[in-house]
Chain A
Amino acid sequence: MRLIKRFLRGLVAHLDLPLLMIVLALMAVGLLTVFSATSSAGFDKLDKQLVNMAMAGVIMLLVARTPPQTLMRFAVPLYVTGLVLLLGVALFGVVVNGSRRWLSLGIVRIQPSEIMKIAMPLMLAWYFQKNEAMLQARHFIIASIILLLPIGFVLKQPDLGTSLLIGAAGFFVIFLAGLPWKVMFGLAAAAGAALPFAWSLMHDYQQRRVMTLIDPTSDPLGAGYHIIQSTIAIGSGGSFGKGYLGGSQTHLEFIPEKHTDFIFAVFSEEWGLLGNGILLVLFTLLIGRGLMIAAGAPTLFSRLLAGAITLVFFIYAFVNMGMVSGILPVVGVPLPFISYGGTALVTLMLGIGILMSIQTHRMLVKK
């Protein structure tokens, strides 16, 4: 009995209240929108999402009470496991919707690339922490190799969205660790210069695919259809939206993937510019709180980890809303805490848990 009490107190003690409030608000928006998007099929998806949230919440609590030092111990094994599993996917993976992303382990199927989203910043933060005293150019090179290896696998699946998120997570660690600006601009310039050359090496069909990625309206019945319909949904929402459950684009099935990747179109149609503004504020608060935690973190590892995780949240939100509103290419990135789906939610809440852990174990380290 006492044990349980202590355990519970431990759980509560490691919560970061502001972060919790923001996440709960986002989840509430998510639940409402998932229901609107799937109401024609009853409460089924809503119920499942509630279970997903409960599960992810438990994981967050457990991670939050785990000290960063312990988390750091997971870095290498988790990264290596992820890499092995990705190799396994490449060799024995299950193909779903034309992508080889899943590994079948008897009854459950897991998506190893999802593990990498957390393993990558953990690994890199650990690596920089380990070499904190004498960071040199070679460390950045090795860090880049650590980053690019799994991304290569994920790109090969192909899963553009996930490789983008893993890449972003890793890049942000390296960026925050102090990758010189000169190097960054140099790399960017080199990439820019190589682009026309790479373009000329591509086959016609590959060029076309890239073109549809950049300009979906060039393929209005194929890839462009999604984007055209979602921009219509957003635009027709107007300043104040069509009202909850009142979106015709949503309820007449014009929006594809409307409870997952395109859920923002559903939200935006029903709540309008006002709703979008509020959502942006919520995300800004989330990111702001995350960056504050990062700024106040005592060790390089925790600083880099907190900063990278927070910036990945931003990438999630920005890429998703950007693609749904038609200013970014369509890549499979969910809207954090709002899109339906257990896996993404668990990963996100793991990140929140890590942030809370870093925040609440600060004093302990100083002691």
Chain B
Amino acid sequence: MSDFYHQEQDTDRFRNRLLVASAGILLAFLLLFARFFYLQVLQHDYYKTRAESNRISLVPIVPNRGTIVDRDGVILARNYSAFTLEITPSKTLGLEETIDGLAEIVEIQLKDRRRFKRLLEESKTFESIPIRTRLSDEEVARFAANRYRFPGVEVKARLFRQYPEGALAAHAIGYISRINAKDKEAIEESGQEANYKGTDHIGKVGLEAHYEYELHGVAGYEQVEVDAGGRAVRVLSQTPPVPGNNLALTLDSGLQRVAEQAFGGRRGSLAAIDPRNGAILALVSSPAFDPNLFVDGIRFDDWDELNNNPDKPMLNRAIYSTHPPGSTFKPLMALAALTSGKRTPGQAIADPGYFNFGNRRFMDDKIGGHGMVDMYKSIVVSCNTYYYTLANDMGIDTIARFMGELGLGQKTGIDIPGEATGILPSPEWKQQRFKKKEQQKWYAGETISVGIGQGYNAYSTLHMAHALANIINYGKVFRPHLVHTISNPNTGETRTVEAEPIRQIAHKKEHVDLIKRAMHSVTREGTGARAFAGAAYESGGKTGTAQVYSLKGGRYVAGQVRERLRDHSWYIAFAPVDEPRIVVAVMVENGGFGAQSAAPIVRQVFDYYLTGRVPGGPALETEAPEDASDGPLLEDDLHEAD
């Protein structure tokens, strides 16, 4: 009985314990259910997003870069598709081993390795870096068969930039190259980061750089479902990229070619502008380079060669190199004199062959002088003395104001980067330029040098072409530009780059006409007559010689100074005289007198542009005329001369 009771008690206790356990179980399951409710109902949106972002990866699709064509549709920059072999360093088992292994399958030269090494230094290890570009079909197949051996190595189809005309207009067009850290910063600053996710090339110089955001286009996206290993399982949706806009240039590639060839490899630059609208017809910087070298990352030896070449082929001389314009400054000075009222056309001076100022004597290049010289004659014979006195009468401030209005000493606003401002000398400029007090003072003698385009004056050929165009145009100023239209290849929608004048300078027609007439005579009876003998059109021009080396107390004899110390040869011109369609400024470095090197180049350019004549070879240098009618300024100290 007691045993039974004991058992009963035991069973009760056991059941009691079971009840406690059951309560615990129910509580635990309720807790679980609460957790599920929290995850699946309250936090569902959050986890749904997390699952989606796990699942879906956005793969950018790089848009096709816009093409660049000249005014007649000649292709200057386009794209083509090719296979590259790319390595993602962080995914390989060993970089050296991988490259050595690859070299057994596809040809990998030393220069490929060098380029890879250089790109590697610029990139992060998880980026895909090309070891070989432009694989042949056979090489692609051979790699595909061995692919399993090379983790982290992929064949990718990529669009490459090609410049079919090679070095033609290379400085104007520029080139694209791989995006570096600095480019990345610029992209981030302009808020284009997302758009450049898949892009690995960017315009570095020239139009490719200036119109980068037009040419690039808008990246598309592919929504790809990926598994936990990051492999794409399937494509869910696609937002197609918007291809970059195409550029049609104002540039005439025929003219450009003729102009480049006219230089014959000599150092110098040329800018040809249509004065009626500011359209740049040719922009030459000689020597040039092949932009195709840069596209896949320039090879070390190519870069070395370009960089260390004493002729500096990478320099865009047309917009960046500035030099004193020499006598090409005279027509501008003449107009300044007329406009400011300091001279009338008929007012003549007697030229004794020099101009005394204080205790200094400024020489004319013609011994004994030009006799009585009025404005017209001063341009035709390029009389220095006339401009010495004129500059002295006008004063530096009037000169600087007028030349500034013409566009000198400031950026012209051309649509490629890297333009120099040049130097328009003035007391203010000098004050800013120099630190020491004694150097900041403007001397009246300096005004006299400025008057004949020497001294501190420094302009690019673009500056001079732009200024001349503004004069020829009776003061109507257009921004010089290389791009004529920007068109969307999808919609065909085309924007024309401004043909409207940006400002008007107050020039009188009769003043401008006098200058034009005098410049016309330069080509018939003046310093340019020899270069333009027999031309089938009428043109106006002005020679100029920029002094490189000051000869103390002696006359400049071209053959007697080393080539690099010879003067720079300038020529500015327009044609035809009646209704000018082209304005040109040319400078040949160390080309000697203006008539000697620069004018013959312009002759070939005008011949081609106005008559279609293609020259047989470079514009040869003519011999220095016996009567060096366009010589440089020689400053003789009176004490020494005596």
In the bound complex, residues from chain B placing their C-beta under 8 Å from that of A132 are 10
**How many Å from the CB of A41 to the closest CB on chain B?**
14
Q: Is A303 an interface residue (CB 8 A)?
A: yes
In the bound complex, residues from chain B placing their C-beta under 8 Å from that of A294 are 18
Chain A binder among B24-32, B168-176, B532-540, B581-589: B24-32
Q: Is the CB of B47 within 8 A of A231?
A: yes
Q: Is A291 an interface residue (CB 8 A)?
A: yes
In the bound complex, residues from chain A placing their C-beta under 8 Å from that of B44 are 235-236, 238-239
Q: Is the CB of B33 within 8 A of A234?
A: no
Chain A binder among B221-229, B437-445, B603-611: B221-229
Q: Is A42 an interface residue (CB 8 A)?
A: no
In-complex Cβ contact of B227 among A252, A295, A311 (8 A): A252
In the bound complex, residues from chain A placing their C-beta under 8 Å from that of B13 are 178
Question: How many angstroms between the C-alpha atoms of A325 and B51 in the bound complex?
Answer: 15
In the bound complex, residues from chain A placing their C-beta under 8 Å from that of B55 are 248-249, 252
In the bound complex, residues from chain B placing their C-beta under 8 Å from that of A207 are none
**How many Å from the CB of A158 to the closest CB on chain B?**
25
Question: How many angstroms between the C-alpha atoms of A232 and B225 in the bound complex?
Answer: 17
Q: Is the CB of B41 within 8 A of A239?
A: yes
In the bound complex, residues from chain A placing their C-beta under 8 Å from that of B48 are 235-236, 238
The number of chain A residues with a CB under 8 A from chain B is 45
Chain A 274-307: CB-based contact to B (< 8 A → 1; otherwise 0): 0011001001100110010011000010010001
A277 in contact with B228 given A232-B47, A236-B44 (CB within 8 Å): no
Question: How many angstroms between the C-alpha atoms of A238 and B35 in the bound complex?
Answer: 12
In the bound complex, residues from chain A placing their C-beta under 8 Å from that of B638 are none
In the bound complex, residues from chain B placing their C-beta under 8 Å from that of A235 are 39-40, 43-44, 46-48, 50-51
A175 in contact with B17 given A236-B48, A249-B51, A287-B25 (CB within 8 Å): yes
Chain A 226-244: CB-based contact to B (< 8 A → 1; otherwise 0): 0001011111111100000
In-complex Cβ contact of B32 among A233, A236, A321 (8 A): A321
Q: Is the CB of A248 within 8 A of B36?
A: no
Q: Is B233 an interface residue (CB 8 A)?
A: yes
A176 in contact with B18 given A235-B48, A236-B47 (CB within 8 Å): yes
Q: Is the CB of B225 within 8 A of A318?
A: no
Q: Is B118 an interface residue (CB 8 A)?
A: no
Tell me the residues in window 302-320 of chain A with beta carbons closer than 8 Å to chain B beta carbons. Answer: 303, 307, 311, 314, 318
In-complex Cβ contact of A232 among B21, B35, B51, B227 (8 A): B51
Q: Is B303 an interface residue (CB 8 A)?
A: no
Chain B 252-287: CB-based contact to A (< 8 A → 1; otherwise 0): 000000000000000000000000000000000000
A234 in contact with B15 given A249-B54, A300-B10 (CB within 8 Å): no
List the A residue with the shortest CB-CB distance to B37.
A273
List the A residue with the shortest CB-CB distance to B56.
A248
Q: Is the CB of A253 within 8 A of B17?
A: no
Main secondary structure of the interface of B (DSSP, over half): helix
Q: Is the CB of B33 within 8 A of A277?
A: yes
List the A residue with the shortest CB-CB distance to B17.
A176
A252 in contact with B228 given A273-B37, A325-B36 (CB within 8 Å): yes
Q: Is the CB of B29 within 8 A of A327?
A: no
**How many Å from the CB of A308 to the closest CB on chain B?**
10
In the bound complex, residues from chain B placing their C-beta under 8 Å from that of A249 are 51, 54-55
List the A residue with the shortest CB-CB distance to B16.
A178
**How many Å from the CB of A50 to the closest CB on chain B?**
27
Q: Is A322 an interface residue (CB 8 A)?
A: yes
In-complex Cβ contact of B229 among A229, A253, A295 (8 A): A253
Q: Is the CB of B18 within 8 A of A252?
A: no
In-complex Cβ contact of B40 among A238, A252, A287 (8 A): A238
**How many Å from the CB of B79 to the closest CB on chain A?**
35
Q: Is the CB of A318 within 8 A of B36?
A: no
A178 in contact with B47 given A235-B40, A254-B228, A277-B33 (CB within 8 Å): no
Question: How many angstroms between the C-alpha atoms of A300 and B29 in the bound complex?
Answer: 28
**How many Å from the CB of A139 to the closest CB on chain B?**
14
Q: Is B90 an interface residue (CB 8 A)?
A: no
Tell me the residues in window 366-383 of chain B with beta carbons closer than 8 Å to chain A beta carbons. Answer: none
Q: Is the CB of A252 within 8 A of B41?
A: no
In the bound complex, residues from chain A placing their C-beta under 8 Å from that of B3 are 133
In the bound complex, residues from chain B placing their C-beta under 8 Å from that of A277 are 33, 36
Q: Is the CB of A178 within 8 A of B14?
A: yes
A325 in contact with B14 given A249-B51, A249-B54, A314-B25 (CB within 8 Å): no
Question: How many angstroms between the C-alpha atoms of A300 and B13 in the bound complex?
Answer: 12
Tell me the residues in window 218-262 of chain B with beta carbons closer than 8 Å to chain A beta carbons. Answer: 225-229, 233
Chain A 103-118: CB-based contact to B (< 8 A → 1; otherwise 0): 0000000000000000
Q: Is the CB of A307 within 8 A of B18?
A: yes
**How many Å from the CB of A169 to the closest CB on chain B?**
13
Q: Is the CB of B15 within 8 A of A276?
A: no
Q: Is the CB of B31 within 8 A of A327?
A: yes
Quick one: which of A172, A233, A234, A235 has the most chain B CB within 10 A? A235
Q: Is A272 an interface residue (CB 8 A)?
A: yes
In-complex Cβ contact of A325 among B35, B46, B233 (8 A): B35
Tell me the residues in window 128-170 of chain B with beta carbons closer than 8 Å to chain A beta carbons. Answer: none
Q: Is the CB of A232 within 8 A of B54?
A: yes
Tell me the residues in window 219-273 of chain A with beta carbons closer than 8 Å to chain B beta carbons. Answer: 229, 231-239, 248-249, 252-254, 268, 272-273
Question: How many angstroms between the C-alpha atoms of A254 and B17 in the bound complex?
Answer: 42
**How many Å from the CB of B47 to the closest CB on chain A?**
3
**How many Å from the CB of A199 to the closest CB on chain B?**
26
Q: Is B22 an interface residue (CB 8 A)?
A: yes
Q: Is the CB of A280 within 8 A of B33?
A: yes
In the bound complex, residues from chain A placing their C-beta under 8 Å from that of B36 are 234, 268, 273, 276-277, 325
List the B residue with the shortest CB-CB distance to A132.
B10
In the bound complex, residues from chain A placing their C-beta under 8 Å from that of B228 are 229, 252-254
Question: How many angstroms between the C-alpha atoms of A232 and B54 in the bound complex?
Answer: 9
Chain B 597-633: CB-based contact to A (< 8 A → 1; otherwise 0): 0000000000000000000000000000000000000
Given contacts A276-B36, A295-B18, 10 further A-B contacts (CB under 8 A): A176-B18, A235-B48, A248-B51, A248-B52, A249-B54, A277-B33, A284-B29, A287-B25, A303-B14, A327-B31
The 5 closest A-B pairs by CB, nearest first: A235-B47, A236-B51, A235-B39, A252-B227, A253-B228
**Chain B contact residues, CB within 8 Å of chain A:** 3, 6, 10-11, 13-15, 17-18, 21-22, 25-26, 28-29, 31-33, 35-37, 39-41, 43-44, 46-48, 50-52, 54-55, 225-229, 233
Query: What are 10 A-B contacts with C-beta separation under 8 Å?
Result: A176-B21, A178-B14, A231-B47, A234-B36, A236-B48, A252-B54, A280-B33, A283-B29, A325-B36, A326-B35
